[in-house]
Structure 1
Amino acid sequence: MAEQFTFPKGFWWGAATSATQIEGAAKEGGKGKNIWDQWFDEEPNRFFDGVGPGTTSDFYHQYKDDIARMKNIHFNSFRLSISWSRLIPDGSGEVNQEAVDFYNNVIDEMIDKGVEPFVCLYHFDMPMAMQEMGGWENRAVAEHFGRYASICFDLFGDRVKKWFTHNEPIVPVEGGYMYDFHYPNVVDMKRAAQVGYHTLLSHVFAVKAFREKDRTGGEIGVILNLTPSYPRSSHPADLKASRIADLFFNRSFLDPTVLGEYPQELIDLLGEHGVLPDTESGDKELIKEGKVDLLGVNYYQPRRVKAKENLPNPGAPILPEWFFDHYEMPGRKMNPYRGWEIYPKGVYDIMINLRDNYGNIPSFISENGMGVQDEARFMENGMIQDDYRIEFIQDHLEWLHRAIEEGANAKGYHLWSFIDNWSWMNAYKNRYGYFSVNIDTQERTPKKSAYWITAVHKNNGFEK
């Protein structure tokens, strides 16, 4: 007998994207250079097929048609980000009126079509002028971010009611300062800790600016990529490894943004290895003021870890992997194109953890999705038959539904992404959208999943 999965009234259905990954027009409209523009200029060879952030999916010019598509597939919400370097080209100076006009037009068009704008202030795209000041290593940049946030609240806060300070703030720390997959390609745990700390302070300054305005009548949150750290076994050494992985990659931002303080165990661990960030007196009280109203959860894959097999090289740079090894669980289900495990139950585990340990904060799945290479292989009768994506979404929604039934305060589900978009170093290698994009012609074509999700949105659920 078929089972019905119906979601709560007013559930947020939609998708997410970011400015650099979708807007294009990187040298138009008065936009300043960001770190991705700079890195592509320096090392285009590090980007898949040499495709940079110049044009991407051209949302800058095609937003009206794209928002009409959102309406057609019954989105009631959509998360976009504002480009700091488009709005304030040097990050700290004059506001660019062309950018104000663009974002006003996008927001107004979305509201007109019944799609609520969820707006993120920072999605990996540091203005180059700010990076030249040291980026997040420099506390002054965090203060400039607070000013930028305040300007956004003034310009758009009369219509935007869901704000998010950062998307996945741990990722620029990992990519830019530990593992060399984001600019500025530093490998240094001490500098990484400082970057993480000032990123958190930038969040706090933005939250404070939001609270001081009050007139926005909205909510402010943060988007975190929460990746459960599952131990190989219940052996104490494996359990410790998973706890430390969780401290680094989840709790380093989850605890301060939701609970208002860092985990003491993380502070002790960083202190023991001489990599604590520099702080100022009064910061502890300041961080308590950065607690959010709403939490976005990005979930793609689990993290599986085990105790170290070998002692770390004492002469090598200290990294989180000093404390655990990654573990490949036998028989795991994989997305071979992205190299990621598919584990839908992770959504449930995250939501139950938030219910039990984080005050059941209002939350939603702000990203979840499946990137697949060469999707044109699955074209039949002019449409990509992405049944694998439908199965992926449905399986995750089933576990989300179960968490809600068990009392988790989950408000919505946003796919990554609405249309195929440019991914950092991967460019258009893996496709994620409900709509495919031909990057030569910019033509958009619905995939099978677009029709399936339309029915889910209309029915506020599905039958299986």
Structure 2
Amino acid sequence: MFAKEGAGVTLGRREFLGIAAGAALAPLTRSAMAQQFVQFPDGFVWGTSTSSYQIEGAADADGRGPSVWDTFSRTPGKVLDGGTGDVAADHYNRYLEDVALMADAGLKAYRFSIAWPRIQPTGTGPANARGLDFYDRLTDALLRRGIEPWPCLYHWDLPQALQDRGGWGNRDIASWFADYAQIVAGRIGDRAKHWVMLNEPSVVAIFGHGVGGHAPDLRGRTNYCAAIHHQNLAQGRALAALRSAGGKDWQLGTVLSVQPVKPAPGPDSNRHAAAQWDAVWNRACLDPLFKGEYPDSLIADFKPLVKPGDMETIRQPIDFLGLNYYSRMHQVADPGGLFGTNFGPSPDGTKHTDMGWPIEPDGLYEQLIEFRDRYGNPPVYVTENGASYGDWVGPSGKAEDGARIFFIRDHLLACHRAIRDGADLRGYFVWTLLDNFEWGYGYTQHFGLVQVDRETMRRRPKASYYWYGDVAKANAVPL
């Protein structure tokens, strides 16, 4: 049974799944709504997020240059199933169909990323007009259907030409990124009002440069620190550049992966490991942005990289912070780890997604409250939250994925609780619209609200698509 927070009506599994399929939402009376749903504040933003390399495909179309993920995924043995983003979900050619899916679900915002190699195939220099044309068309298509575009300037697909010049290890990349940001904003900034600088710089630094496993597959503490600092610097310069460009109604922000870190069961050394990993994953991005400093335990590592004026440049005011949350991180001491720490087991009894990630919606509440108490309660949007689960086609022809519905529902209830307790949370973007290229896992994991047939590219909405659409239309979540 699923009980209403505090008291009141309970819903059995059968009744809840009936609502989840959209069968009972419209006829509910106001009193029934009050009993069976929690209502979100007026103006709460409901959306979905994607990334360019994971869905666009068209890897060689219209002047696009290669990215580090093209190089990585085409290298044998790097991706679990040998998949690449060459076709992905073919969004480049099917974007109108995908925009229609969002509109039909009642979603009002779409966070998508711009492929830097489409705009500047060599990473610097004049813009590729045909690359900009695609995002121009996408922006117009979204607005025609009442969906606000939320462009993200960087979601991991760095031009390979820049990697050949050192990539995020080269301090000059901060200026290259600011130039690129101005090119994109100059083209669609008359219509796009919400701008995201980076997506998850800590993940880029840790898995792309520290421990390996993501493009460009570098390793080492020095590489990690350079990638973090230069992304922080690039973010600050891009924020300053766009703010000075004069988009008076622009909302400027960035997106960080922030996950509460806990010591795994075991010796006291796990407590130190958790504190250190919290600094590496979370604070190395949050503290420079909000406080103009690196965590104490990392100052010596970053000292060779920081030049006069850097921290002032990084500490830019933002209009919103995007939070990508999936689960807590449970850490153990490991002398062989990047910073003397490594991933440990979840607490006994914890359930996991098909990806093997812990399901801990209370960790989302914990993180939102921490933003309230530690960082001045900035306006926050959950810009990614979702889960990988399998699905199957039922007798109705609809793809069934009830586990995803329960996952999203529980995390939305955590969001509602945080709002009630004073967190300035203003919206939620589910990850993700379409089953896509899931980085090193290729096409073996499925996060989408919509199934994509790998042979035909046919879109088949899942039960979670209809459920989430009903939530967005009602601005309320069933209990």
TM-score with structure 2 length normalisation? 0.89
> How do 1:98-117 residues align onto structure 2 when only pairs under 5 Å count?
98-117=130-149
1:153 aligns with 2:200: no
2:358 is aligned to 341
Partner of 1:86: 118
Structure-1 residue corresponding to 2:60: 27
1:309-343 C-alpha deviation (Å, 9 max, x unpaired): x7x26xxxx612x14662431111112x2011100
1:388 counterpart SS class: helix
Aligned to 2:108: 76
SS at match of 1:196: helix
Aligned runs of 1:26-425 on 2, under 5 Å?
A: 26-41=59-74, 43-232=75-264, 237-268=269-300, 270=301, 276-288=303-315, 290-306=316-332, 308=333, 312=335, 319-320=338-339, 322-323=340-341, 326-335=344-353, 337-373=354-390, 375-376=391-392, 379-425=394-440
CA displacement, residues 186-228 of structure 1 (integer Å, 9 cap, x when unaligned):
2210121111111111111101101111234211111111110
- Show CA shifts across 1:158-189 (max 9, x none): 11111111100111111122221112222210
Helix, strand or coil for the counterpart of 2:60?
Answer: coil
- Quote the Cα distance in structure 2 between the aligned partners of 1:461 and 1:129: 46
Name the SS of the counterpart of 2:242 in structure 1. helix
Deviation, 1:89, is: 0.8
Separation in structure 2 between the aligned mates of residue 287 and residue 178 of structure 1, nearest angstrom = 22
- For residue 365 of structure 1, give the secondary structure of its aligned residue in structure 2: strand
Answer yes or no: is the 8 Å Cα contact 1:117–1:162 preserved in 2.
Answer: yes
Displacement of 1:364: 1.1
Counterpart Cα distance in 1 of 2:341 and 2:89: 40
Matched, 1:435 2:454: no
Deviation at 1:3, TM superposition (A): 4.1
Q: 1:11 aligns with which of 44, 64, 87?
A: 44
Distance 2:461 2:343 in 1: 41
After superposition, the Cα gap between the structure-2 partners of 1:263 and 1:8, relative to the gap in structure 1 and judged at 3 Å, is same
How far apart in 2 are the matches of 1:191 and 1:94?
29
Task: Give the Cα–Cα distance (whole angstroms) in 1 for the partners of residues 267 and 414 of structure 2.
Answer: 27
Cα offsets for 1:389-422 (capped at 9, x unmatched): 1100000001110000001000111111011111
- Name stretches of at least 5 consecutive residues in structure 2 with no aligned partner: 1-8, 10-34
Amino acid at match of 1:332: T
What percentage of aligned pairs have identical amino acids? 36
Amino acid at match of 2:159: P
1:61-115 superposed Cα distances (whole Å, 9 cap, x missing partner): 1111111111100000010000110011111012111111111110011011000
In structure 1, what is the equivalent of residue 465 of structure 2? 450
Contact 1:258–1:292 (CA under 8 A) maintained in structure 2? no
Please give the alpha-carbon distance, in whole angstroms, between the structure 2 residues aligned to 1:323 and 1:261.
22
2:398 and 2:343 map into 1 onto residues whose CA distance is 42
Distance 1:324 1:119 in 2: 34
Aligned amino acid, residue 161 of structure 1: K
What is aligned with 1:463? 478
Structure 1 CA distance, aligned partners of 2:425 and 2:233?
27
Matches of 2:68 and 2:41, distance apart in 1: 41
Distance in 1 between residues matched to 2:457 and 2:119, nearest whole Å: 25
Aligned mates of 1:347, 1:191 — CA distance in 2 = 30
Contact 2:388 2:447 in 1 (8 A): yes
CA deviations 1:226-266 (Å, max 9, x no partner) are 11002347986544332222111011101222333323343
Q: How many Å separate the matches in 2 of 1:263 and 1:178?
A: 18
Q: Secondary structure at the match of 1:14?
A: strand
C-alpha distance after superposition, 1:267-294 (max 9, x if no partner): 15x3xxxx64423222232223x23221
**Alpha-carbon distance in 1 for matches of 2:93, 2:342:** 47
Q: How has the CA–CA distance of structure 1 residues 426 and 324 changed in structure 2, closer, same or farther, with 3 Å as cutoff? A: closer
Instruction: In structure 1, give the amino acid aligned to 2:404.
Output: R
Unpaired segments ≥5 residues, structure 1 = none
| Partners of 1:277 and 1:127 in 2: CA distance | 26
Look up the SS of the partner of 2:427 in the other structure.
strand
Q: Which has the higher mean CA deviation after the structures are superposed, 46-55 or 443-452? A: 46-55
* Rounded Cα–Cα distance in structure 2 between residues aligned with 1:44 and 1:60: 25
Rounded to whole Å, the distance in 1 between the matches of 2:56 and 2:291 is: 34
Q: Taking structure 1 as reference, are residues 33 and 232 closer, same or farther at Cα in structure 2, changes over 3 Å only?
A: closer
Note closer, same or farther for the CA distance 1:107–1:301 as it changes in structure 2 (3 Å cut).
same
Does the Cα contact within 8 Å between 1:226 and 1:350 map onto a contact in 2? Answer: yes
How much does 1:305 deviate? Answer: 2.3
CA contact under 8 A between 2:264 and 2:344: conserved in structure 1? no
**8 Å Cα contact 1:166/1:203 also seen in 2:** yes
CA contact 1:259–1:291 (8 Å) conserved in 2: no
